[in-house]
Structure formats: structure tokens, C-alpha cells
A and B are shown apart, each in its own frame.
Chain A
Amino acid sequence: MTDVLTLDGVSAGYGPFHALFDVSLAVAPGEAVALLGANGVGKTTVARVASGLVAPERGQVRVEGADLTGAAPHRFVRAGVAHATEGRSVFASLNVEENLRLSFRRALGARGVAGALDQAFEQFPALARRRAQLAGDLSGGEQRMLSMARVLVEAPKLLIADELSLGLAPIIVDEIYAQLERLRAEGTALLIVEQHVSHALALCDRVLLLEHGTIIWEGPPADAADRVVARIFEHGEAG
């Protein structure tokens, strides 16, 4: 079976800054992969390359075998890649319902919107109560729920989740991970960038460890625990 996502020898950066060096990775259908590393090593950049936000300078990006190197992000989305970005990932100037409409309309057509809205509000009653509120005025946790609600209605082939749990109360983190679990059960592959190492390790099949823009280790979560903690601490103290 072809992998959902393949990065092949990817180097990428921002103008004169080089952030990734010859990164290769693959995510199989339904697989959950955790991408771990200290601050500033390039995790977010990998996520951005995988969703088309950053075009690689060298190397190839394939989604289900189709070469999408240098393509605009909407083509990644249409190929089945969803990306919940780091930080705020909802439109602050649109209200909750409009945020949802925007993606449902594209994904499901005009007919499907109403049903999808009902379904989303059923799943997240907190959002239903705020459907006319500007998304910018939602709390951090509610914003994450909103971006999850957008993804959940039509399960993508791959969800890239970048620091979904950052700054959230433990209960909400648990809830979000429960949602991820559900998605996975429906067959969605996951690429998870996380600082809450324990949650990620519990969920994932495989761990990639990133340092200085290159993948330095790859293996099962069981072996990863000690290693990850050691690497991150070492790096943190050195840097």
C-alpha cells in the first residue's frame, strides 16, 4: 500500500534561514507517528512542508504517491491532508458557524453543510452555545475544539496536528486526545508534533526524533521514552 505522506530528502527553510536538512519520512495509512524534539529544531517546519505551506528547496513531497512538491496548500487538502497549525488555527474575524461553514462547504458541497453543522455541534456542545460568537473571542481550548470540529466531519487521510495541547488544561487535553483516538479508529493517519510527550507516546505507533533539522532517531514508542527525555533535556541545557 502506498504511504499517505512521503518526504524524500527534503531540505527547506525561510529565505536565508535553513531549517531542515535532508529529511526523509513516510507515514503509512492509518499509522500514528509522533514527531518529537526540542524547541526550534524544525518540527513545525516539517509539518508545514507536509501540508504545502512551506515549499521545499530540495527533495520531494508525495501524498498517496502523487508528487505535490511545490504545490499550493489547497491541493494537499484536496488530496486528503488536514493540518491543524500551531497556535490559533481558526479565523478570528469569522464567527464559529462561519468557520465551520467555510470548510464544510468546500468539502461537502452546499447540500452537506447543514447536516455537517448539526453533527459538529452535537459533538461539541460548547461550540453550539457560541455559534454566533467571533472565533477570535473564544478561549484557547474552544478554538482547538473548533479546529478539531472542522476536521472530524469528514475524516482526512492524514491529520497533521501541531502542538494541539499547548497551553490547555489537562481535561481538555484528554478530550482532544480522545478525539484523535477516534479519528485514528476511522482510519486516519496521524502526524503529531507534541511537547506533551507522554500523551503522544501513548497514542503513536512510531516516533521520529528531530534535532537541528535532521531526523536522528526513529523507533517504537517504548524505546523512545528514555531517549526522548534525555535528548530534549540535553539539548535544552546546552541551548
Chain B
Amino acid sequence: MVLAASFVEDLVRGTLQGLPPGAVYGLIAIGFVLAYKTSGVFNLAFGAQAYVSAALYFQARNEWGWSNLAAFVLAVVVVAPAIGLVLERLIFRHLPPGSSLAKLVIAIGLSVALPNLFELIVGFEPVAGRTPEGLLPNGAGVFYDPLGLYSFSRDELTALVVAVLGAAALAALFRFTAIGLQMRAVVESPRMTELNGIRADRVSAFSWALSSFFAGLAGVLIAPRFNTLSAPDFFNLVVVAIAAAAIGKLVSLPRALAGGLGLGVAIAIIDTFLPRIVERQQWLEPIQENVTPAVPFIVLFALVTLWPELRSSKEQTDPLAGVDPPPPTPAALTRSPWLTRITIVFAVCFFLVAGLVVFLRADASWLFVVTQAVILSTIYLSITVLTGFAGQISLCQGAFAAIGGFTVFQLADRFGMSVLVGAVVGACIAAAVSALLALPLVRLGRVWVAIATLAFAAFFDAVVVKLPFVGGGGTSLLQGTRVPRPVIGPWDLADDKAFLVLAVLVFAVAAYVVSAVKTGTVGRTLAALRGSEVASRSIGISPTRARVTAFAISGFLAGLGGAMLSIQQKNVNYASNFAPFAALFWLVLVVSLGARTVEGAAYAGASFSLMDRIIFQGTFIGWILRSEDRIPGVFPLSPKWRFVLFGLTTIAFAKHPEGLVENGKRNAHVRMAKLSARRDAHREPSADDAVPGEAVA
């Protein structure tokens, strides 16, 4: 009996302990659902918005010495909705309805751009040890213990109360008010709402302001849970919130709150009881610490892959979608052979010149960034295959690359194996993991693939990396994950120039393989699927095989590149190279510059590692002015501008999914063609002016 009594007591204590973090998850989940319901946008940038408000609140309070209330009004009541309004007005209003993939990509870009833009504007620096404080004075110091089992801090109680009130207020708004009804109507069809005499743009602006207000509110309430404010933490929190929202099928506000609370409680209870089970079952020990942070990700992954109803609860299609003109044909399909030839010639010349300069003139640090650019380009080819060819957004390429890196580290560290063999083994493991992961995913819609891979990346980050046979466990904390440079016969790759040659060779082979895939059967199948899945199925094309193959190839390339990167840096450096938030920027870069071509990946690699050195530090201007002294005073620019720049270029994805580079080249080409056509006096009017007869056909 005594045992049972203490069991119940522990259970209750675990539940109470889980409520405050659960409320926090629930609060973000509510905001997320609100955004999804009212704008149809899977707003991954929600975490970034929450971060901005939390950081602004902190800055105003602690740096500018404002009162709590004033800082709250600024960060949550003014700035948070304003960000939502700006996003709606400048970006999302202009996207055609139904472009869910473009919206997702843009939200990913914003997740990267917003925190950096904010930090640049306000001059905020996330500094370790400056602990954020809550809304109420002394929130972390005053405790209440109503049941004598668990004492809630004042901050925790505030979050709990606000979450419950918020969910109730929103549910009431949707059910009982005119604006709530209008918001629901606009989600389905802005045009039909207009035909009811309602200003749809006002309504959706209001929706954005409201959901962004919730993002800000959640951010400020959550901040005290962190030691230091940092954008990646807030991003991870959104993944947790999506898990909670998924429990409510992404549309139910009360259930999203319940889902959040449930997750919090589940984690706390596992935390209470697992150690006791482990005492008796020793073999569970390695996973004990890692299970709890992984719960939301496992739940999310399981929901997405195993619960078909979640996916079928898609938005209603807009009956007035027929008013939109058809989307322009993607440029990559209509590329002229001339353009390809010019590109190749240009690339070869560029590589020869750049290669010579680097070899003859570069010092160690330049060699480092150039080599890094080449290796990253190899990794980015994995995104080319998956996103460019297969049209799938994967947010776990960082995990695949890390698998390559960790394999090299483990094989070299434990068995003294050659790192080059290790790299190939690592790539194969990454390919296998990727293919396995793909099996349950390939039938999901694209947005769901993105979410599931995001859950996997978070899971990898929270659990897998910490396992001793992956990330090295406790020893790696002291020694790092060191990786030696290889020696091939007489060729010692400890020399950076020699290693650069190897990196270029690897990239060349990878690029060749990728172009072969593009023109081969798999590539053409994928292109057909990208065009129309239904049509492709009806002529007997199976999406599963081609997509799993694409995932496997992509995993292989990422693993290979990850291994090379670790060898180059002589260390895996997981947190700075491969963490989910870092890898988010990879996708942003590749998609902005061009996900459909090898050169797009190369440009992305170059931008990642060289842009800062060449442009932001003013070196390029220095070259042009032929003097370092004449570099204008605005340089060096913060490297954060890079994230802002590319994060914001994803906005162009809706119009030009082929990327900036390809689009720019195509425009140049069209202009050239027009010029030569103008010279040709006999030409008919341009093909743009289609007659209605053609339109019917």
C-alpha cells in the first residue's frame, strides 16, 4: 500500500511538474494553429517571431532600462503584430492561393532572416549567461505550492494561466464573433469572401497580426525557461509545438493546448519513472537521459507517418482558384542548349582562373574557406537531387552529413581505419538511413515530408548525437571529435593544397553523378512526378522507387560531404556545422540560388563560405579600388547580413522556383533573343499574345 501511495504521489507530482512546460508548448501550438488556420501558412518562422519579441523585451528591459509593462507593450503589443502585418503585406498577400510549398520555403527563409535582421537593427547580441526574465517581477523567485507536491514559480503560473485564457479567448473568437467567421472564410477563399462584400485583405492582415501577437506573447512567456536567448532554441521549440498542434490535427485550438500540456506531462512523468526502471534494467542506461527531449519529435514523426487523417485534413480548395492565370512554365524545362554550353565554358574558365589564383597566391585561411566552399557544394548537391529533381523539401540534410562525419570519426578513433574508407562507409550509412527514412515518407505530401524530416533532424540532434557510438559520448566533451587527415601513398593530405585537390575531385565526381541522375531514368521519372503525380501514376510510373532512390543518393552525397568537411576541419564540429538550424540555411541558400542545377549548388557553396570573406569584409571593393585603405567605412559588414539576404531571397521562390542564378541567366538569354529578333524585321508579333483559339486548346 505504501508503495502504491508513493506511486500515485509521484504520478501527480510528475503531472504538476509537466504542466508549466506543457503550457508553454501549448501556447506556441495555439499560435501556430492560428496562423495555419487563418492564412494556410505552415509558419515555421513562428519561432523566429517569438524570438524577436523575447529578445526585444529583454533588450528594452535590461539594456534600455524600460519598465516591464513598457517593454511588454513594445515587444508584444506593438512590434509582434507589426511584423505579422509586414509579412502579410509584403510577402504572403502576393502568393497565389494553394502554393503551400512556396509558403513553406519562404517561412524557412524567414526563420533564418528574421532573427538576424532583428539583431542587426537593434544591436542585440545573444550573450551566454544573461538570463531572460519573465513578465512579473521576481518571477523565478516566488513560488506557490497549492498541493504540497510541486512548487510552481510565478513565471510558470503566468505561462499556464495565459495559455489557458488564450486558447479559450481564441476559440470564442472563432465561434462567436463576426471577425472570427470572416477569418475562417478567408482561409477557404479570399475571393469568395470578397464577393460577400468583405475586405479580404483587411481580414487576413488582422489574422496575421493576431497570430503574430501570439508568437510574441509566447516568446516573452517562454524566455525565462532558457539560460540564454538564442534563435535555434526558439526554432526547436516550434518543432515541439508542431507536435502538439498535430495532436489537434492542426486545426483545433483547444486540442492544440491539450496536446502541449499532454507532451509536457508525458515528458515529466517519463523523467520521474525512467530512472527507477533503469536502476533495475541496466541496459537502458544510455538512452535514459536522451529519451525525454526526444518525446515530441518521436510523437510528431509518428503522427505524420502513421496518422493519415492528419494529412487529409488539408485546407478546402478555393472554388475561385480558376480566376488565377496558369503558372508560368518552369524555366528549367525550357532551357536552351546554348545556355548550357555557355554555362559550361564559363564555369571551366572560371575554375581554371580561380584555381590558379588560389594555388599560387592563397594563404592558409583563404585555402581553408575555398576548400570549405568546394566541400559544401558537394553537400549541396544532395539538396539539388532531393529538392531540385524530386521536389521534396528535406530539413534533415544536416543529420545525413553528420552521419558521414561521425562515421569517419568513430572508425578512425576506434579501429584506426583510413578516413577515406570511413568517408565512403559513412556516405553509405547516410544513404541507407535516408532511404529507410524515405520509405514511410514518400507517399506524404511535400509539406509533410518537410515536417517529418524536421522531426527527424530534431530527434537526431537531441538523441542520436549524444549516443557514445555516434557522437563519442562523454569522451568527446573533453577531447572533441577529432578526425585525422589521410595519406594516400606518397600524397600527404595534411597539406591543405593537396586536400583542396581531393575536395575538387570529389565534387567533380559528385557533380557528374548528379547530372547523370538528372538525364537518366530516375531523373526523368522524378521530373514527370514533379509535373503531375496523378498523371504519372496513371501511366504506370511508380513514385516510391524513384523517390526512395533520390533520397538514397541525396543521403550518400550529404554523408560524403559531411565526412569530407570533418576531415578538412580535423573535427566533426557537429554543433556549428550540422545542427538542424545551421542546416536550415543550406536549404535556403540552395533554393535561393538554384536547386535544379549543379552550378546552383556550386554558387551556394561559394556563397556560404566565401561571401563573408570577399564581399562583407570589403575585400572585393578593396580589389576594385586597388587599395585596402580606400575600402569605405561601412565595411566590414556583419556576416549576419548573409542570412538576411538569402533568407529574404526565398521570397522569389513563389515566382521562380528555379532560383536566382537560372532565372537571371534566362532573362539575359531572353533579352539577347529579343534583340536579335528585333533585327529580324520580318518576325511576327511575339508569342506572348496568344489568341483565344490557342487558349481554348
Q: Which residues of A contact B (CB under 8 A)?
A: 13-19, 21, 40, 42, 48, 51-54, 72-74, 77-78, 82-83, 85-89, 91-94, 98, 101-103, 105-107, 110, 136, 150, 212-213, 239
CB distance from A151 to the nearest CB of B (A): 11
Please pick, from B185, B316, B690, the residue contacting A136 in the complex, using a CB distance under 8 A.
Answer: B316
Most B CB within 10 A of own CB, among A89, A102, A106: A102
Q: How far is the CA of A40 from the CA of B188 in the complex (A)?
A: 26
A107 neighbours in B (Cβ, 8 Å): 197
A16 neighbours in B (Cβ, 8 Å): 325, 688-690
Chain A residue at minimum C-beta to C-beta distance from B319: A88
Please pick, from B187, B191, B690, the residue contacting A73 in the complex, using a CB distance under 8 A.
Answer: B191
Q: How far is the CA of A83 from the CA of B198 in the complex (A)?
A: 14
Is B695's CB under 8 angstroms from A19's CB? yes
Q: How far is the CA of A48 from the CA of B322 in the complex (A)?
A: 11
A85 neighbours in B (Cβ, 8 Å): 192, 195, 319-320
Ranked 10 nearest A-B pairs via Cβ = A15-B325, A77-B197, A73-B194, A14-B325, A17-B695, A88-B319, A103-B196, A106-B197, A93-B316, A40-B696
B255 contacts the other chain (CB 8 A): no
Chain A residue at minimum C-beta to C-beta distance from B688: A16
A136 neighbours in B (Cβ, 8 Å): 316
B192 neighbours in A (Cβ, 8 Å): 85, 89, 91
24 contacts between A and B (CB under 8 A): A15-B328, A16-B688, A16-B690, A18-B689, A19-B692, A42-B692, A52-B194, A73-B191, A74-B199, A77-B194, A83-B195, A85-B319, A89-B195, A89-B319, A91-B188, A91-B192, A92-B316, A98-B181, A101-B181, A102-B181, A102-B182, A102-B185, A103-B197, A136-B316
Q: How far is the CA of A200 from the CA of B196 in the complex (A)?
A: 25
Number of A-B contacts (CB under 8 A): 111
Is B319's CB under 8 angstroms from A239's CB? no
Please pick, from B201, B323, B328, B696, the residue contacting A48 in the complex, using a CB distance under 8 A.
Answer: B323
Q: How far is the CA of A126 from the CA of B325 in the complex (A)?
A: 37
Is B191's CB under 8 angstroms from A53's CB? yes
For chain B residues 195-226, which have a beta carbon within 8 Å of chain A?
A: 195-201
B323 neighbours in A (Cβ, 8 Å): 14, 48, 53-54
A92 neighbours in B (Cβ, 8 Å): 188, 316, 319
Given A73-B191, A92-B316, residue A18 in contact with residue B695 (CB < 8 A): yes
Q: How far is the CA of A149 from the CA of B141 in the complex (A)?
A: 60
Given A51-B195, A83-B195, residue A74 in contact with residue B185 (CB < 8 A): no
CB distance from B349 to the nearest CB of A (A): 37
Q: How far is the CA of A53 from the CA of B191 in the complex (A)?
A: 7
CB distance from B416 to the nearest CB of A (A): 63
A93 neighbours in B (Cβ, 8 Å): 184, 187-188, 316
Given A18-B690, A19-B692, A239-B696, residue A73 in contact with residue B319 (CB < 8 A): no
Chain B residue at minimum C-beta to C-beta distance from A39: B696
Q: How far is the CA of A17 from the CA of B687 in the complex (A)?
A: 11
CB distance from A57 to the nearest CB of B (A): 12
A14 neighbours in B (Cβ, 8 Å): 323-326
B693 contacts the other chain (CB 8 A): yes
Please pick, from B191, B319, B696, the residue contacting A87 in the complex, using a CB distance under 8 A.
Answer: B319
A87 neighbours in B (Cβ, 8 Å): 319, 322
Knowing that A21-B692, A78-B197, A87-B322 touch, tell me 4 more A-B residue pairs with CB under 8 angstroms: A17-B690, A98-B181, A101-B178, A150-B196
B195 neighbours in A (Cβ, 8 Å): 51, 53, 73-74, 77, 82-83, 85, 89
Q: How far is the CA of A239 from the CA of B697 in the complex (A)?
A: 10
Is B316's CB under 8 angstroms from A74's CB? no
Most B CB within 10 A of own CB, among A82, A103, A107: A103
B189 contacts the other chain (CB 8 A): yes
Q: How far is the CA of A191 from the CA of B137 in the complex (A)?
A: 66
CB distance from A63 to the nearest CB of B (A): 13
Is B319's CB under 8 angstroms from A18's CB? no
B691 contacts the other chain (CB 8 A): yes
CB distance from B692 to the nearest CB of A (A): 5
B188 neighbours in A (Cβ, 8 Å): 91-94
CB distance from A221 to the nearest CB of B (A): 26
Q: How far is the CA of A9 from the CA of B201 in the complex (A)?
A: 29
A18 neighbours in B (Cβ, 8 Å): 689-692, 695
CB-CB contacts of B655-697 with A at 8 A, as 1s and 0s?
A: 0000000000000000000000000000000001111110110
Q: How far is the CA of A107 from the CA of B198 in the complex (A)?
A: 10
Is B692's CB under 8 angstroms from A212's CB? yes
Q: How far is the CA of A150 from the CA of B197 in the complex (A)?
A: 12
Is B316's CB under 8 angstroms from A102's CB? no
Q: How far is the CA of A52 from the CA of B201 in the complex (A)?
A: 15
Chain A residue at minimum C-beta to C-beta distance from B201: A72
A52 neighbours in B (Cβ, 8 Å): 194
Please pick, from B191, B198, B326, B695, the residue contacting A102 in the complex, using a CB distance under 8 A.
Answer: B198
CB distance from A38 to the nearest CB of B (A): 10
Q: How far is the CA of A102 from the CA of B195 in the complex (A)?
A: 11
CB distance from A5 to the nearest CB of B (A): 15
